[in-house]
Structure 1
Amino acid sequence: MDIRQLKYFMAIAEEGQISRAAKRLHMAQPPLSLQLKILEEKLGVQLIERNTKSLCLTEAGHALYQRAEQIVGLVDTTTKEIREFDQGLRGTLAIGSPPGIGHLYMPSRIADFHAHYPDVNFQWREGNTYRVLELLNSRVIEVGIVRLPIDSNTYELKPLLKEPWVAVVRASEGQLKPPTITLPELAREPLLLMQRQQGIFCHDMVWDALRAAKVEPTVFCESDNVMALLTLVELGLGAAIIPRSAAALKPSTALHMMEITDCKLESAVAITWLKGQRLSAAAKQFLEMF
């Protein structure tokens, strides 16, 4: 394998079609198909299922994609570091954040950074905290915003804020909803909760509060997709318990946000990077903006 083949494979996996991947790579489709075939022959495994309109990764393909992300990310980071010795701040800075929180912090800082360092471009990836940490560990991104707690032995961090978790319910037409609610009152409706992620304890925090309030709710849906939960609330399928910044992701007259008064549900947010990692000059300067 070489880096070029891995980049070809990643483009095919991400685009889901060889034709779209070829267009993205500015090359013809037959040579790209040939490169995929050569890669599969070298490895002795099938990487792509070809019996559907859109291509699907096999189990081996998924494993290679995860490794390719790490390898290509490390090569790109190394190339950037070496160029910086002679060229100063330029190139691409890769960052990550969860939806909602990232929108609070990133755009204004990216704009300010661009004003000072116009030769630096950005790759901004979104995902939950677990995904952001995964991208940091594989060196795909250099810095990311996460919800705490995370392992302080593995990551450096700068705290950004603490925010409460709130209840979001469907607004009734012509009927005023109160600004606050208790957990027993909230548990009368089916609940829509954030899904448990490996190493991320916000899910447990909500359940601990429910147990402390001695309520046994009916949980209709758990998801790591906040927008999906808010859409379910709009459809009248339950009440969501989510961070306040996440509740602001979907401005809608059909949604009503309430403070939860009988418990202290809150999570801290920080910007983080790997301990011991040599950060690029661009990443160091970007962190200074926090």
Structure 2
Amino acid sequence: MDIRQLRYFCAIAEEGQISRAAQRLHIAQPPLSYQLKLLEEELGVKLVDRNTRSLSLTQAGRVFYQRAEQILGMLQAAASEVKDVEYGVNGILAIGSPPAIGNMYIPERIARFHEEYPYVRFQWREGNTFRVLELLESDMIEFGIVRLPVPAGAYEQLPLLTESWLAVARQDDARWQGKNALTLEELGAVPLILMHRQAGIYCHDMVVDEMKNKGISPDIVCESDNISAILALVDKGIGMAILPESTLSVRPAEDFHRMAISGCQLESSSAIIWKKEKRLSRAAKLFLELF
């Protein structure tokens, strides 16, 4: 087993198809399939389930993928640290963030940083808080933006933003024209689209709990950790969303009607975090100073 095989396997796992992984790696499909076969034979386990269109990881494959990510992440970190010592500020700086809040903070700072340190290259990976924590734990990124809370004692934190959560409806929905706030009773009368709890975000539960305490049964038609998908459902008239204000930056402001929620105080905080006791590269330390 070698590093090349680990890279091949991770590409296959992430793309879900041999053909797409081969395109990403710029190699032909037959040798990629052969390397996967050799890897399974060496380990003595089946790593993927194949069908005619796509493949999925077996339980053993999921475990191996997590470890392979960690190994590749540590290898990349080691290479960056060595180059940093020898040549100064260069190498690859890997960061992670949710899409909306990352767009608020990252592009401008990358532009400023690139002017000062043009030899640093960036890997900016997007995902919800749960995914950013996974990337941190596997050393695939040095730091990430997350919505709090995160496990206590495991991370250093740099606070960024505290914002309100809003009820979000279609802009042309006549029921809410002229309204700046909704009561819990009004929310109980419409289908709701909420952020999925797997993302580590529980703020909308405050609304649901308050509704239940008042004898109101919420009609939750969908939960998702994809903000664009939630807003697409709102746009289709499927229901009303409860979202942090910053998430609306992924679509034009005029597409939606935003309203405060009366009857409970809804706020959510975000921060940049990195693993405690982890040695940050010089590039990472300098980039964090921009915040």
Q: Once the two structures are superposed, what CA deviation does each residue of 1:18-57 show, in whole Å capped at 9, x if it has no partner?
A: 3332333233333222211110100111222333223332
Q: One-letter code of the match for 2:267?
A: E
The alpha-carbon deviation at position 251 of structure 1 amounts to 2.1
Match of 1:260 in 2: 261
Mean CA deviation greater in 257-266 or 135-144: 257-266
Q: How far apart, CA to CA, are the structure 2 residues paired with 1:3 and 1:196?
A: 35
Deviation at 1:212, TM superposition (A): 5.4
Deviations 1:83-142, CA, capped at 9 Å, x for gaps: 211111111111111121111111101111111111111111111111111111111111
Question: How many residue pairs are counted as aligned between the two chains?
Answer: 290
Q: Is the 8 A contact 2:98 2:128 kept in 1?
A: yes
Distance of aligned partners of 1:99 and 1:51 in 2 relative to their CA distance in 1, 3 Å threshold: same
For 1:101, what is the secondary structure of its paired residue? helix
Q: Which residue of 1 is the match for residue 92 of structure 2?
A: 92
1:219 is displaced (CA, Å) by 1.3
Q: Distance in 1 between matches of 2:41 and 2:136?
A: 31
CA distance in structure 2 between the partners assigned to 1:173 and 1:132 by the alignment: 35
Q: Secondary structure at the match of 2:198?
A: coil
Specify the alignment match of 2:281 in structure 1.
Answer: 280
Report what 1:135 is aligned to. 135
Q: Contact (CA 8 Å) 2:48, 2:57: kept in 1 or not? A: yes
Stretch of structure 1 that moved more, 50-59 or 141-150? 50-59
Relative to structure 1, is the Cα distance of residues 206 and 27 closer, same or farther in structure 2, using a 3 angstrom cutoff?
Answer: same
- Alignment of 1:170 onto 2:170: yes
Aligned partners of 2:120 and 2:106: how far apart in 1? 15
> What secondary structure is seen at the aligned counterpart in 1 of 2:114?
helix
Q: Which residue of 2 aligns with 1:20?
A: 20
Which whole-Å CA distance do the structure 1 matches of 2:46 and 2:89 have between them? 41
TM-score normalised by length of structure 2: 0.92
Q: Which amino acid aligns with 1:233?
A: V
TM-score with structure 1 length normalisation?
A: 0.92
Query: Which residue in the other structure is 1:43 paired with?
Result: 43
CA displacement at 1:263 relative to structure 2: 2.1
Q: Using the alignment, how far apart are the partners of 1:264 and 1:121 within structure 2?
A: 41
| 1:107-256 equivalence runs, <5 A | 107-172=107-172, 176-197=177-198, 200-211=201-212, 215-251=216-252, 253-256=254-257
Segment drifting more, 62-71 vs 208-217 = 208-217
Question: Shift of the alpha carbon at 1:264?
Answer: 1.3
CA distance change for structure 1 residues 196 and 74 in 2, over 3 Å: closer, same or farther?
A: same
Percent identity for Structure 1 against Structure 2: 58
Distance in 2 separating the partners of 1:174 and 1:38: 61
C-alpha distance in 1 between matches for 2:270 and 2:58: 36
How much has 1:144 moved relative to structure 2? Answer: 0.4
- Structure 1 segments unaligned to the other structure (5+ residues): none
CA distance in 2, matches of 1:259, 1:51: 48
Return the alpha-carbon distance in structure 2 between the equivalents of residues 86 and 41 of structure 1.
40
The answer to whether the 8 Å contact 2:195/2:201 transfers is no
Amino acid at match of 1:207: V
Once superposed, what is the RMSD of the aligned Cα atoms? 2.0
In 2, the alpha carbon distance for the partners of 1:50 and 1:214 equals: 49
Amino acid in structure 2 at the alignment position of 1:205: M
Structure 2 unaligned runs (5+)?
Answer: none
Which residue identity does 2:63 align to in structure 1?
A: A
- Whether contact under 8 Å (1:247, 1:257) holds in the other structure is no
CA–CA separation in structure 2 for the residues paired with 1:24 and 1:218? 42
Distance 2:67 2:255 in 1: 43
